[in-house]
Structure 1
Amino acid sequence: MTGSEETPSFRLAYVPGVTPAKWVRVWNERLPDIPLSLHQVTAAEAFDMLRAGDADAGFVRLPVDRTFFSAIPLYTETTVVVVPKDHVITAAEEVTLADLADEVLCHPLDDVFDWDAPPGEPAFERPATTEDAVELVAAGVGLLVVPQSLARLHHRRDLTYRPLTDAPQSTVALSWPEEATTDLVEDFIGIVRGRTVNSTRGRQAEQPPQGAQGARAQPKRPQKATAAGRGAQGRSGGAKRTQSAKPAKRGKPRRRS
């Protein structure tokens, strides 16, 4: 390898709430010589990072710009409302947006939902981040609507959450620039989709070794018997017929005088 060649690596961005550990573990098992680096970024920063070529792929939240990015939807999260543990909403197992009509709702600047109109009454000002909004909920300023993974990420002992049955939902996807679909990106797509090591999709499958081809060769046909062989078989058959002939009958014994 010359000094100008770079060691191959894979850079993976991911947004808060996504846990890429299981896919990273499989990558390290299959491609131990190619390091994978993780970069946690906000939902907005993830696309900027991919556009700039600072990451090869990323776990993002839909929607994506389909004119530039490819994306594989992975799962859709449950939407929840984060409330203090002593809030009246905790008496129900699940709630609706109508139940929040009279509540003050914190709407952070990094909100992952594309609301036509956020539910409830708006707070005095919008917090900068979801983490800041959680702090306001803990202070009794208002409530917060987020995907369940973000409620777990910012868990506090004095807070809890309830599912919102009719709220918008957030879908997590694997995304990458369409014009930069490299072999390593294909390898990671295969891992995320659960393909086996020997799958023929994605990269070209390796050619089987010569020994394997020889093992699949058709068996040889049996050779025809030669004239000498047929003669031998005939003599052998005659001998068998002689051996199988019935023994001659004995004469009657003479009477004694």
Structure 2
Amino acid sequence: MTGSDESPTFRLAYVPGATPAKWVRIWNERLPEIPLALVAVPAAEASGVLRAGDADAGLVRLPVDRAYFSAIPLYTETTVVVVPKDHLITAVDEVTLDDLADEVLLNPLDDVFAWDRPPGEAAFERPATTEDAVELVAAGIGLLIVPQSLARLHHRRDLVHRPVVDAPRSDVALAWPEEATTDMVEDFIGIVRGRTVNSSRGRKAAAPEPAGKSGAKSGAKAGDRRTSTGAKTAGRNPGGKSGVSKGAKRRKPRRRA
């Protein structure tokens, strides 16, 4: 955080399909004095935004440069193929890449998969965005393989999607520049890791007691133990046999019958 008089703001970048809503709600409940600003960025530009300091952390798609960024993997998405509602694929629950080998598959310029070789038959040209590709699927030009969150983000009533069981998958992570691990970044890390507000690893955790107070308490407890021990042994003779207090009554000896 800077030393300016302005109120600090935590800036969280997020790529299409990422869903920060739950974590934003928890942040607002725990840290209402620090606004959280969401920064929507294309997946390919997320690293650049973080490097430039235009966001403090981001929900990004892996991989990222681990020499520069720290990253906490959050979840792995199911990969699906988006098809028209009347396509034959809708008759099955899931498909393989081999099932799509004879299909025209659209490969948008913002595709999040690093294909060695895109499956299926290549379209005449690459759409500029995933959103454009979805429109082409609806027009019957081809099919589209995407993470499930993107299929839901660009949902249309005339399209459906099915899981592709052997396709690459996309991992979503929280990432930030390692050298810029601020208190606010630590706070957000605690939230995504599910730590409670009083967690010992969180910035908001209670500070340890000063050594003087702790020592005083320890001394008092030690004194209590000594007093207690002394009370237990007060009625014993040096030889170890129990003594009899002065006011105790002695029993009369029984008479023999």
- Quote the residue 1:15 is aligned against: 15
Displacement, 1:57?
A: 0.1
Displacement, 1:195?
A: 1.2
Q: Which amino acid aligns with 1:91?
A: A
- Quote the residue 1:122 is aligned against: 122
The gaps in structure 1 that reach 5 residues or longer are 227-231, 247-257
Deviations 1:20-44 (A, max 9, x none): 1111111111111111111111101
Q: Count matched residues.
A: 236
Displacement, 1:6?
A: 2.5
Displacement, 1:87?
A: 0.2
Indicate conservation of the 8 Å contact 2:110/2:129, yes or no. yes
Deviations 1:96-154 (A, max 9, x none): 11111111111100000000011111111111110000000001110000000100111
For residues 237 and 25 of structure 1, the distance between their equivalents in structure 2, rounded to whole angstroms, comes to 71
Could you say if the C-alpha distance between residues 65 and 80 of structure 1 is closer, same or farther in structure 2, counting changes exceeding 3 Å?
same
Task: Compute the TM-score of the two structures, normalised by the length of structure 2.
Answer: 0.84
Report which stretch shifted further, 212-221 or 63-72.
212-221
- Quote the residue 1:53 is aligned against: 53
Q: Which amino acid aligns with 2:73?
A: P
Indicate conservation of the 8 Å contact 2:80/2:161, yes or no. yes
Residue identity (%): 73
For residues 146 and 22 of structure 2, the distance between their equivalents in structure 1, rounded to whole angstroms, comes to 24
Task: Compute the TM-score of the two structures, normalised by the length of structure 1.
Answer: 0.84
For residues 114 and 206 of structure 1, the distance between their equivalents in structure 2, rounded to whole angstroms, comes to 45
Deviations 1:157-189 (A, max 9, x none): 000011101111100000001110111111111
Match of 1:237 among 235, 248, 256: 248
C-alpha RMSD of the superposition: 2.6
Q: Which amino acid aligns with 1:151?
A: A
Could you say if the C-alpha distance between residues 204 and 90 of structure 1 is closer, same or farther in structure 2, counting changes exceeding 3 Å?
closer
Deviating beyond 6 angstroms after TM superposition, the runs of 4 or more aligned structure 1 residues are none
- Quote the residue 1:94 is aligned against: 94
2:135 is paired with a residue whose SS is helix
- Quote the residue 2:37 is aligned against: 37
1:176 is paired with a residue whose SS is strand
Indicate conservation of the 8 Å contact 2:101/2:121, yes or no. yes
For residues 20 and 204 of structure 2, the distance between their equivalents in structure 1, rounded to whole angstroms, comes to 26
1:98-247, aligned counterparts within 5 Å?
Answer: 98-201=98-201, 203=203, 205-208=205-208, 218=221, 220=224, 221-222=227-228, 233-234=245-246, 236-238=247-249, 241=250
- Quote the residue 1:66 is aligned against: 66
The gaps in structure 2 that reach 5 residues or longer are 236-243
Displacement, 1:199?
A: 1.9
For residues 155 and 137 of structure 1, the distance between their equivalents in structure 2, rounded to whole angstroms, comes to 11
2:39 is paired with a residue whose SS is strand
For residues 36 and 25 of structure 2, the distance between their equivalents in structure 1, rounded to whole angstroms, comes to 10
Deviations 1:37-61 (A, max 9, x none): 1111110121111010010000000
Q: Which amino acid aligns with 1:72?
A: I
Could you say if the C-alpha distance between residues 110 and 188 of structure 1 is closer, same or farther in structure 2, counting changes exceeding 3 Å?
same
